[in-house]
């Protein structure tokens, strides 16, 4: 797997969807955070983005469960990338706010999880999406919403 920082300059010539599909196909490298958390973008289509990951003991907090930042990072990624799929060439975005509700704890026994982000609305300056983190049986582990600012590059 190829990891690296791409930067916004590379985004100038492609739409948000083309950029994400380029990560999936290997045209662009996976971001370094993907290696750290062993998460990967596995689907990107107009209005939707999906990440896969497997929680491990290396993600534990002092209480012996997976730290909330693991779920937060996957949800921030899938929700923001859902917005990114709607962005035209020459524009970038950044998360300006997100809210997450944790439903079930995770451990290294949870197995593979998926973060599924879907757009609620994308305008010229603001994109809003929702996401859920589910286990292999489809049980919701956490869910959330995000707002992303859209800007010209």
Give the dihedral sign, CA 85/22/8/15: negative
Q: Which residues pair with 132 in a beta bridge?
A: 116, 143
Average pLDDT, rounded, for the chain: 94
* pLDDT score at 11: 75
φ/ψ of residue 124, rounded to 5: -75, -30
pLDDT surpassing 80 at residue 8: no
* pLDDT score at 6: 73
Tokens of 28: 């662009």
Confidence of residue 3 (pLDDT cuts 50, 70, 90): confident
* pLDDT score at 5: 75
Alpha helices in 38-131 (DSSP H): 68-84
The H or E element that residue 62 is part of is none
pLDDT surpassing 90 at residue 46: yes
Confidence of residue 4 (pLDDT cuts 50, 70, 90): confident
* pLDDT score at 1: 72
φ/ψ of residue 7, rounded to 5: 85, 160
**pLDDT tens string 11-43:** 788 999 999 999 999 999 989 999 889 999 999
Of the chain, the percentage scoring pLDDT greater than 70 comes to 99
Task: Compute the distance between CA of residue 48 and CA of residue 29 in angstroms, rounded to an integer.
Answer: 20
Of the chain, the percentage scoring pLDDT greater than 90 comes to 88
pLDDT surpassing 80 at residue 136: yes
φ/ψ of residue 103, rounded to 5: -105, -45
Q: What is the mean pLDDT of residues 100-115?
A: 97
CATH architecture of 8-152: Roll (3.10)
Task: Decide which of 30 and 117 is more confident.
Answer: 117
């Amino acid at each position: 797997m190829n990891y690296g920082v791409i930067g916004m300059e590379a985004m100038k010539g492609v739409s948000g969807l083309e950029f994400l599909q380029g990560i999936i196909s290997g045209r662009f490298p996976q971001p370094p955070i993907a290696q750290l958390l062993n998460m990967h973008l596995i689907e990107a289509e107009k209005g939707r983005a999906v990440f896969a990951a497997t929680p491990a003991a290396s993600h534990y907090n002092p209480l012996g469960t997976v730290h909330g930042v693991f779920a937060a990072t996957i949800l921030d990624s899938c929700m923001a990338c859902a917005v990114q799929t709607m962005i035209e060439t020459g524009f970038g975005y950044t998360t300006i706010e997100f809210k997450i509700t944790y439903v079930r704890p995770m451990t290294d026994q949870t197995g593979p999880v998926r973060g599924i982000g879907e757009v609620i609305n994308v305008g010229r300056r603001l994109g809003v999406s929702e996401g859920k983190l589910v286990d292999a049986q489809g049980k919701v582990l956490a869910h959330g919403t995000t707002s992303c600012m859209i800007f010209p590059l």
